[in-house]
Chain A
């Protein structure tokens, strides 16, 4: 039986909570990436993300993917989990999106596999289609490039997040000149997301446990609107209480951060290696 909106939302909510708990476990492991200064790690990953974005060839992207796998192994991230998390997501979204690009109607080029031959070219309103449907060499390269680029980018983002405690990651953003107040708002938001996810979970379970027959869509929309409306009211009251609690503890509106990071030799080496890799990609592209 297809899952209804309550079941689907419950599943998403549980996944989000599970994900952040698992993230916390891995970021406390004693691995290579966990040992780097979060600021160095943010710079390294940005350089590697840019390298991936600028890559014009499949081999370069594949090499970067192998690097992410090696980094995951060195950081004690279960390899099966790491690979699955990327490759379960990619075929579902990017794979489906990349699929039409394989064919000559989207990417014209040298046919490698003709699937259907029509009597004549087909015109559909303003659109003109060729007399045959085929997978092209160029289409295959285009789809592979898109899938691999997304996979490497997602792998890099996952590695960064899995190996860094979220508060450290947010504080490291100050190196990118993100204002302190934004970092503070983001950190508080992250904390309250968990509270709201629990609230949402309870609302959904309460509905599921009282429902014994499918309801009309109008009722479902009414229920969702009323729950979100109740959450708006809760958000407003909660923000007033949190504000008063903050003021009573000396909050004046200006955040003050505690600097606890230590930039070590291995951090400098990591940044240098990432920079050399990025520069060689840019240089390589210019030469060829």
Chain B
């Protein structure tokens, strides 16, 4: 899901940075209003947590492992606006210090995983929770579905960003300059990988962690709800 530099044209990178700016500004404003002096330590530590989530290899059926992102989990626990900044910081560190995802394409990666994913997942979770009863298992299942939908929404947007490259950015002889695959190839490829493997990992992490917290440490969910920036 992390797009390295070289796959997107610089024009696309600028558009994606621009698309992120209103979300970063709005997230910053809401966080500052709500958390004030607690903002820096709370966000820093939860960004570090989301980095660790991305590090975990989650076993999936078929004998392989994959990574989850944790954006929907963070959006459910701390609110989607906190997830925007928290996941963006984790992605920035991954891009700058660990070479996961590019520097020019950071805007696109942040839009996909720190904007689209937490908002899509969070509102799916809210929608599913409208119906009762809200048992821990039911809520965990709702969270798992939200995680699954969230990562697939992000994968779909990623596929569009990659798939439009050969349409708009070609050399004079027609050779694609960046990602060579069109929408007909990127959308099925990205969605197949995430509907089957990536989505399962995200569902396991989002639903599993929420179930564990509801059963073993329900007070943490209550405490985090007070801090949440929805």
- B23-55 Cβ-contact flags toward A at 8 Å (1 or 0): 000001000100011111111111111011101
User: Looking at the complex, which one of B42, B103, B213 makes contact with A243 (CB distance below 8 Å)?
Assistant: B42
Contacts of A16 in B (CB 8 A): 55, 98
User: Looking at the complex, which one of B49, B58, B99, B179 makes contact with A157 (CB distance below 8 Å)?
Assistant: B99
User: Looking at the complex, which one of A9, A93, A127, A229 makes contact with B213 (CB distance below 8 Å)?
Assistant: A229
Q: Is the CB of B37 within 8 A of A251?
A: yes
What is the predominant secondary structure among interface residues of chain B facing chain A? helix
Q: Is the CB of B180 within 8 A of A166?
A: no
Which A244-258 residues have a C-beta within 8 angstroms of B?
Answer: 246-247, 251-253, 255
Q: Which one, B2-10, B113-121, B127-135, is touching chain A?
A: B2-10
Q: Is the CB of B181 within 8 A of A247?
A: no
Q: Is the CB of A4 within 8 A of B56?
A: no
* B113 CB to nearest chain A CB (Å): 16
| Total chain A interface residues with beta-carbon distance under 8 A | 86
Q: A138 CA to B176 CA in the complex, in Å?
A: 9
Q: Does B220 contact A (CB under 8 A)?
A: yes
Q: Is the CB of B41 within 8 A of A153?
A: no
Contacts of B184 in A (CB 8 A): 127
Chain A residues proximal to chain B, CB less than 8 Å: 2, 4-5, 8-9, 12-13, 16, 19-20, 23, 46, 49-50, 52-54, 56, 89, 93-94, 98, 100-101, 106-107, 127, 138, 141-143, 145-146, 149-154, 157-158, 161, 166, 169, 179, 181-182, 184-186, 188-193, 195-197, 199-200, 217, 220-222, 224-226, 228-233, 235-236, 238-239, 242-243, 246-247, 251-253, 255
Can you name 13 A-B pairs with beta carbons within 8 Å? A16-B98, A20-B97, A106-B181, A146-B6, A146-B180, A151-B6, A157-B103, A158-B99, A186-B89, A200-B56, A217-B59, A225-B204, A251-B37
